[in-house]
Amino acid sequence: MEQSYPNLIPALPELWLALGALVLLMLGVFRTNHVRRTVNNAAALMLAVAFFLVFAVGPTHQVTFSGLFVSDGFTLFMKALVLLGSGAVLVMSKPYLVDKDIFRFEYPVLVVTATLGMLMMVSANDMLSLYLGLELQSLSLYVLAAFNRDRQRSTEAGLKYFVLGALSSGMLLYGISLIYGFSGTTNFTILAGLYSGGATPSVGVLVGLVFVLAGLAFKISAAPFHMWTPDVYEGAPTPVTAFFAAAPKIAAMALVVRLLMGTFQGLVADWQQLVVFLSIASMVVGAFLALVQTNIKRLMAYSSIGHVGFALVGLAAGTTEGVTSLLVYMAIYLSMTLGAFACILSMRHKEGMCEDISDLAGLAKNQPRMAAALAIFMFSLAGIPLLAGFFGKLLVFLAAISAGLYTLALIGVLASVVGAFYYLRIVKIMYFDEPADAFEAPESRSIGLVMGVTAALNSPLSFFLISPLVAWAGAAAGALVL
Amino acid sequence: MIAALSFYLFATVTLLAGLMVILSRNPVHSVLFLILAFFSAAALFVLLGAEFLAMVLIIVYVGAVAVLFLFVVMMLDIDYVQLREGFAQYMPIGGIIGLMLLAELIMVATARMVDPPIGLGSGPAIPDADAVTNTEALGRLLYTDYIYAFQTAGLVLLVAMIGAIVLTHRKRPGVKRQVIADQISRTAKDAIEVVKVKSGEGI
What secondary structure does DSSP assign to B90-134, as a single string?
HHHHHHHHHHHHHHHHHHHHHHHHHS--SSTT-SSPPPPTTTS-H
For an interface test with A, which of B100, B122, B146 has the most A Cβ atoms less than 10 Å from its Cβ?
B122
Q: What angle do CA A100, A105, A106 make, to 5 degrees?
A: 95
A65 located within any domain? no
For residue B163, the chain A residue with the least C-alpha distance is A143
Taking phi over 0 as left and psi of -120 to 50 as alpha, with beta for the rest, A51 belongs to: alpha
Q: What is the pLDDT of residue B186?
A: 85
> Tell me, what's the pLDDT at B119?
66
3-class secondary structure, A280: helix
Confidence label for B175 from pLDDT (cuts 50, 70 and 90): confident
The confidence band for B122, taking pLDDT boundaries of 50, 70 and 90, is low
The DSSP letter of residue A10 is G
Q: Does B152 touch chain A (CB under 8 A)?
A: yes
* Domain of A451, in residue numbers: 267-482
Q: Is B106 on the interface with A (CB under 8 A)?
A: no
- Report yes or no: B146 at the A interface, CB cutoff 8 Å: yes
| Residues A342, A116: Cα–Cα separation, whole Å | 23
In a domain, A469, yes or no: yes
- Rounded to whole angstroms, the Cα distance separating A67 from A55 reads 21
Average of per-residue pLDDT across B155-168 = 94
Q: List phi, psi (to 5°) of B49.
A: 90, 15
Partner A contacted by B186 (CB < 8 A):
no
Select the more confidently predicted residue: B114 or A369: A369
CA distance A18 to chain B (A): 8
| Chain Cα centroid distance, residue A224 | 18
Measure Cα distances from A120 to A7, A14, A251, B98 in Å: 16, 7, 9, 34
Q: Please state, in angstroms and rounded to a whole number, the distance separating the CA atoms of residues A177 and A371.
A: 51
Q: Which residues of A touch B118 (CB under 8 A)?
A: 183-184, 194, 199
Q: Is residue A398 part of a domain?
A: yes
Nearest Cα to Cα of residue A257 among A198, A302, A317:
A317
By percentage, how much of chain B surpasses pLDDT 90?
Answer: 31
A396 inside domain? yes
Q: Residue A279 falls within a domain, yes or no?
A: yes
pLDDT at B28: 86
**Average pLDDT score over residue span B17-27:** 89
CB B118 to CB A194 under 8 A? Answer: yes
What is d(CA B129, CA A470) in angstroms, rounded to the nearest whole number?
54
Q: What's the pTM?
A: 0.89
> What is the count of structural domains for chain A?
1
Nearest chain A alpha carbon to B168:
A149
Pick from A162, A170, A196, A176: nearest CA to A124: A176
Closest Cβ–Cβ partner in A25, A129, A194 for B148: A129
B118 touches chain A (CB under 8 A): yes
> What are the 10-residue block averages of pLDDT along chain A, 482 residues in total?
73 94 90 76 93 92 90 94 94 88 90 96 94 95 93 92 94 91 87 79 85 93 91 93 94 94 88 94 93 91 94 92 94 94 87 83 86 92 90 93 92 93 91 82 81 89 88 90 69
Rounded mean pLDDT of B104-120?
73
Q: Report the residue from B107, B140, B156 with minimal CB separation from A139.
A: B156
Evaluate whether A288 touches A325 at the Cβ level (below 8 Å): no
Digit-coded pLDDT (tens) for B37-51: 999 999 999 998 888
The helix or strand, by DSSP H or E, that contains position A348, with its residue range, turns out to be strand A348-349
Establish whether the linkage from the previous residue to A59 is cis, with ω within 30° of 0. no
What was the pLDDT predicted at B174?
A: 80
In a domain, A6, yes or no: no
- Answer whether B118 sits within 8 Å of A149, measured CB to CB: no
Compute the distance between CA of residue B109 and CA of residue A404 in angstroms, rounded to an integer: 37
Task: Note whether residue A245 is domain-resident.
Answer: no
Residue B113 in contact with partner chain A when CB distance is under 8 A? no
Mean pLDDT of B158-177: 87
